[in-house]
Amino acid sequence: MYERLVSGYFFNHDADNASLAPLLGRDVSRDSVSWMQAAGGIASTPEDLTRWARLLYTRKLLPPAQQRELLSLVSTKTGNPIADVSAQDPRGFGLGVTKLTMPATGAIWFYEGTTLGNRVVHVYFPRQDAVIAFGLNSQPDGNEDHVGELVTSIYRTLHGAGAL
């Protein structure tokens, strides 16, 4: 089973990870993440994740009541419920997913799952009914995490090529 897993490296020096210092720079792909319970409990491909995310956001996966809960937003700025994101209040957290509006992309839904040495991101672009998903085999310091910039770059590349 392990031969098909990508290596994953832990490089996070953030203060709240001080107890994980023995893992710094190590390939942690074979380390048990059972202590994280369900986190990292799915082995999949980015292609499968894009299919699943499209179903999730287009209301074809969950019953209506659960879908409303999933997409009900709380402002990450104020902590209060909001009907939608805006330029003044650009980020809202739903039930495990985040909605964000940025000038480059407009409104998007996304989730970044993280284990010790791997991260997987999916982004749903509602205007285009498009999903991208990618994995990263590292967990860097918080100030070195540039996933948002990567999403913007991918979006601009696809949009410029007429694919979005």
pLDDT computed for residue 95 by the predictor: 92
First to last CA, the chain: 36
pLDDT computed for residue 99 by the predictor: 98
User: Global pTM?
Assistant: 0.85
Query: What's the mean per-residue pLDDT of the chain?
Result: 89
For 45, other C-beta atoms within 10 Å of its C-beta total: 10
Inform me whether the pLDDT recorded for 161 exceeds 90.
yes
Inform me whether the pLDDT recorded for 16 exceeds 70.
yes
Percent of the chain at pLDDT exceeding 70: 94
What's the pLDDT band for 37 if we cut at 50, 70, 90?
low
pLDDT computed for residue 79 by the predictor: 97
How many angstroms separate the CA atoms of 143 and 129, rounded?
31
More confident residue, 92 or 43: 92
Integer angstrom CA distances of residue 162 from 15, 135, 156: 43, 24, 10
pLDDT computed for residue 100 by the predictor: 96
Residue with tokens 């792909």: 29
How many angstroms separate the CA atoms of 23 and 19, rounded?
9
Average pLDDT over residues 112-125: 88
For 80, other C-beta atoms within 10 Å of its C-beta total: 10
